[in-house]
Structure 1
Amino acid sequence: MNEHKLIVPRTARYYTIGSPSARVKDLWVVCHGYGQLARYFLRHFQGLDNGQTLVVAPEALSRFYLDGFSGRVGATWMTKEDRLSEIEDQAGYLNQLLQEHLKSLPKDVRVTILGFSQGGATVSRWIATEKPPVHRLILWAASFPEDINFTTSQAAFAEIPVALVYGTQDEFITSEALERKKQLMQQLGIEPAVYTFDGGHTIHSETLQKVGQEL
């Protein structure tokens, strides 16, 4: 048995809050977590809609039924199957999406990348491998991926302020996992600003506003 690969066009779906214009000062690209859909995830960012901010929520390319063979649908950025190809496809998708929106925005627009849960690993790999023009990175309830090449990726994160945000009742964030996450960041020379809130595995609107103002 021989494995073969063929690159084919894909229709990628994304949602936005706000409209491109000369008034836009901030562009946010926000990547959802495992099993979510972009249109529902984007609702958490309505508070950023101030007439000077454009929020773009790409949806992962692989969808599946959350329970059985029908009903609610979620999306995932990748699985362990053919993961290197999926990582490469993600980066190409996010690069194209970002560049498409930068064309219609002022040249001095500030770019903020937020990855929630699985989306955090996705955007971290994207920045590490492709070095897109990013001014701020927010990892929310996210695990920093251990498969990043630490030797070649330090430069990608060197000038980017990074925020690490999580709920104190998040069932997926243990003290051991948090410590490991911080150690991985230190290997890349990242000293993140850490924000916590009283809550679980979700986006907390007041904390989001605070991070957006302070980072």
Structure 2
Amino acid sequence: MTSTSKMDKKKLTFPYEAFYSISHEPTGKEQEIWLVFHGYGQLSEFFIRKFLPFADENRLILAPEGTNYGYLKDFQGRVGANWMTRYERETAIANNHRFLDLLMEEVLEKFSQTPEIHVLGFSQGAATATRWAGRWTKPVKQMILWAGGFAHDLILEQARDQFRNTEIQMVFGTQDELITAESIESQRAFFGLLEKEVRELTFEGGHELNIPLLQKIIKKEG
């Protein structure tokens, strides 16, 4: 007599704590919210430092942190966060959406009128930013893809409607070893599917934020 057994892998939903960094407590009078997404292996409290010089009474900076963590080298030392890996990818995406929806809901409770929403995604954060914003329920004034691009699994019709009136910019360094000519052309083709004209900006540098260019973008200096 033989017997067989089958292992079922199941999932459980439970309250989970996620982190974010913010330039200051919102007063409800800010005219702009900048939602900035870090890249792979970064942490929000360090990433937001690049943006703090641009925060003031009219501009709130909000940096959510990826909910997956790991050591950056070997099994000890510095720890970084990421938005997802290939493992249980769809679950990570759903968790990100719930986290970001709730974060924005709580922040916007301070406002009687919704301020302009600007979204910047750096590297891996660009795909997460576009994937979330593409199905969010409020308009996005500006979307900046810095050293990254649109997620290719966006629901095209939904994203086309959501970003119809969104100003989109693609920014990358001319010496960025992670940006290839093929990836740029792939993004350009995707922009066509979205029926969007996208402004491309470059700077002399690698896979990094360039502060002078960042200042021009945020302060609308040309």
Answer whether TM exceeds 0.5 for this pair.
Answer: yes
Post-superposition Cα deviations, 1:94-149, rounded to whole Å, max 9, x if no partner, equal 11111111111351411111111000000111122334432211111113222222
Tell me the distance in 1 between the aligned counterparts of 2:80 and 2:73.
Answer: 10
Tell me the distance in 1 between the aligned counterparts of 2:127 and 2:168.
Answer: 14
Q: Equivalent of 1:114, from 110, 120, 128?
A: 120
Superposition TM-score, scaled by structure 2 size = 0.91
Tell me the distance in 2 between the aligned counterparts of 1:140 and 1:41.
Answer: 13
Gaps of 5+ in 2: 1-6
One-letter amino acid of the structure 2 residue matched with residue 156 of structure 1: Q
Mark the CA change 1:15 to 1:70 in structure 2 (over 3 Å): closer, same or farther.
same
What is the number of equivalent residue pairs in this alignment? Answer: 215
Mark the CA change 1:108 to 1:144 in structure 2 (over 3 Å): closer, same or farther.
closer
Q: Conserved in 2, the CA contact under 8 Å of 1:141 and 1:165?
A: yes
Shift of 1:206: 1.3
Residue aligned with 1:130, SS: coil
Tell whether 2:9 aligns with 1:11: no
Post-superposition Cα deviations, 1:20-39, rounded to whole Å, max 9, x if no partner, equal 11431111110100010111
Gaps of 5+ in 1: none
Q: Conserved in 1, the CA contact under 8 Å of 2:83 and 2:128?
A: yes
Match of 2:35 in 1: 29
Mark the CA change 1:108 to 1:149 in structure 2 (over 3 Å): closer, same or farther.
closer
5 Å-filtered alignment, 1:16-95, equals 16-95=22-101
Tell whether 2:174 aligns with 1:168: yes
Report % sequence identity.
36
Post-superposition Cα deviations, 1:45-79, rounded to whole Å, max 9, x if no partner, equal 02212332110111000111111111100001001
Superposition TM-score, scaled by structure 1 size = 0.94
Tell me the distance in 2 between the aligned counterparts of 1:155 and 1:212.
Answer: 24
Q: Conserved in 1, the CA contact under 8 Å of 2:139 and 2:162?
A: no
Q: Conserved in 2, the CA contact under 8 Å of 1:26 and 1:53?
A: yes
Q: Conserved in 2, the CA contact under 8 Å of 1:115 and 1:139?
A: yes
